[in-house]
Structure formats: structure tokens, C-alpha cells
Amino acid sequence: MTTPGGEQTDRLIVNGIALETLRRGRGQKLLLLHGFEPIPPTAPFLDLLARRGEIIAPSSPGFGRSPRPDDVAAVYDLVHLYLDLLETLPDAKVSVIGFSFGGWLAAELAAAACHRIDKLVLVDALGIKISDRATPDILDIFNTHPRDVAPRRWRNPAAWTPDFNAMGDDDIVLFARNREALCLYGWHPYMHNPRLKRWLGRIRVPTLVLWGAQDGIVTPAYGRAYSELIPGARFATIDEAGHHPELEQPAAFAAHVLEFLT
């Protein structure tokens, strides 16, 4: 299906699960794994990346309009679902770009199946614990007041914080559904896999770790530590951006990614 804005959306069936999927462009496949919410189809960075290949951006089960079977209830299930998805794609290897929560999934995929991944981009990724037990590495967005989350999530929160009074009922339901799914997958342990840190050394593909310089959800220091656990990974920051540089600074974000992929 093509929307009035020109973006293609469809349903991708993986292991019996119908995933709402955004498609854009042509050529070698670029698998995009979203963060706290599915990627907005009007996000400018999509058209910029589509110059490099065909974007495939599924909504994970429980997010957006993708159904969630009862037996899909943990990051473990999502990782295996996306391993199945990689096997269904015709390209021998696929570049994977993961954002925030999706960066965690992308790192898990690369640690498990490097042979199906060409290049890996982790954008403000969650997924590991780098400090001691008493030191929080990742802001608890569920137990922190929204007024305090917004300035740590966005460089310009006034432009990006949702206005629930202006949203329609369908959009509010989708917002609540996204938050419910994120809580289900990431509540405990909070937004990380205690075992992943050990296995990042298995990643043997070119990797770019890209970070918003003003990210207050997971700081650039966390991102640099993440990159140092992946052999040969490059680390870069994007100024004037918080946890979502792809949205706040799409041109700078696309420039980094396209240079790396090319």
C-alpha cells in the first residue's frame, strides 16, 4: 500500500506474525529496528537513507499496528523473530540499523548471526550495563516524571514532546500500545540483557556506534563504552541532538550513515 505521502506500508509475515512494515527505496536491503515507538513514516531521514537501498522498517509485535501473540513477550522472542526475518530476505547480507531499544535488538542480532549482516549501525542503543549495580546507566522513563524525561530525551523538547490534547483517539491508543509493549519487553531487568556485554565481542562486522551529543537517556559516555566492547567499532556523536539524532538532526545523521555504508 502506498500512502498519499508516497511511503509504502505493508504487512510482512514472519513466522506467522504479520508485522506492520514501512518500505522506502530500492536496492540492497537496510533493516531498520525502531526505538521507543515505530519510526514515523514522514521522518526526513528515511528518504535520505533510501538513496542507498531499500528500507525495511517493521513495527515489532505489540508496537504500532503489529499484533503480539501471547508467546512473544521478551527480547529473546524479538531477537529470534528478526533472525527469522533475516533468513527470509533475498540478499545474502543485510545492513542493520537499530535505534535506542531497536539498537539493543540489532546488537543481539549481530552477536548471534554475523553471517547475515553486512554492516551494523547502533544509534543511542540500549541493552548493556556498564556501571556498578547501584549506578543507573539508563534513565527509567517509566518511573521518571514526563516533564523530566522530555529534556533528557530531546535537545528541543518543545518541538518533539507529544501534545495529547491535540492528538486524536487513534493516535493516543497507539501511543499507549507502544508504551505497553516497551514496558513488557524492557521492564526487568530494565532495558538491558546482563549477558549481552560478554557477547558483543562476537560481532565481526563493520560497526558504527552513533550518538546524540546531548542524550540524557543514555549518555555519550555509555555509547563510547558500548563501542569499545565491539571489535573495530567506530564511535561518533551528532551535536544538537538528544536520544533521537535521526529525528532531530536528519541530515547530519544520514551523512554519517551513508558515508559508513558506502
Residue 127's pLDDT is 98
CB 252 within 8 A of CB 238: yes
Condensed to tens digits (0 to 9), the pLDDT of residues 187-217 reads 999 999 999 999 999 999 999 999 999 999 9
Residue 37 CA from chain centroid, whole number: 9
Residue 9's pLDDT is 67
Residue 114's pLDDT is 86
Q: Which residues of the chain have pLDDT under 70?
A: 1-9
Residue 1's pLDDT is 45
Assigned CATH class of 8-261: alpha beta
